[in-house]
């Protein structure tokens, strides 16, 4: 009974892998389209603000994350964290004039927590790569 269940799960594994690849391709394509549309709107407005550049960085990081998946078949955990940091920075820049001081401190604290977690995750990756070299 257990053998059949394991065999079924292994047989369905391709659906998960395929779905992931298709959805990430759609995310990559949609990100390129969104970036193109945003560039056109910036051109039409004939104005570029710092928040616009941060949004373009977010687009680039998402495309980089999709590219990293296709080259390594895994998404480094630090990339979504960096995207979140960039998004929070953009939010602070866009709303800093109208923002409550406590809200600003909260968002800055969130950036600090995300930065610390990205650093810890990069250490984890470094340690696991060293372990991999020791095994080989």
pLDDT in tens, the chain (136 residues): 455 666 666 667 778 778 888 999 999 999 999 999 999 999 999 999 988 999 999 999 999 989 988 888 877 788 889 999 999 998 888 887 777 888 889 999 999 999 999 999 888 767 766 666 666 6
Q: How far is CA 64 from the centre of its chain?
A: 8
**pTM score, two decimals?**
0.72
């Amino acid at each position: 009974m257990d053998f059949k269940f394991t065999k079924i799960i292994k047989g369905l594994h391709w659906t998960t892998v395929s779905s992931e690849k298709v959805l990430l391709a759609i995310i990559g394509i949609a990100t390129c389209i969104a970036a193109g549309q945003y560039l056109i709107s910036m051109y039409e407005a004939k104005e570029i603000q710092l928040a616009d550049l941060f949004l373009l960085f977010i687009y680039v990081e998402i495309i980089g994350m999709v590219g990293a998946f296709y080259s390594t078949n895994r998404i480094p955990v630090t990339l979504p964290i960096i995207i979140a940091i960039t998004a929070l920075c953009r939010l602070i820049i866009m709303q800093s004039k109208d923002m409550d001081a406590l809200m600003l401190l909260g968002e800055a604290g969130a950036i600090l927590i995300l930065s610390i977690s990205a650093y810890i995750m990069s250490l984890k990756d470094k340690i696991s790569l060293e372990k991999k070299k020791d095994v080989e």
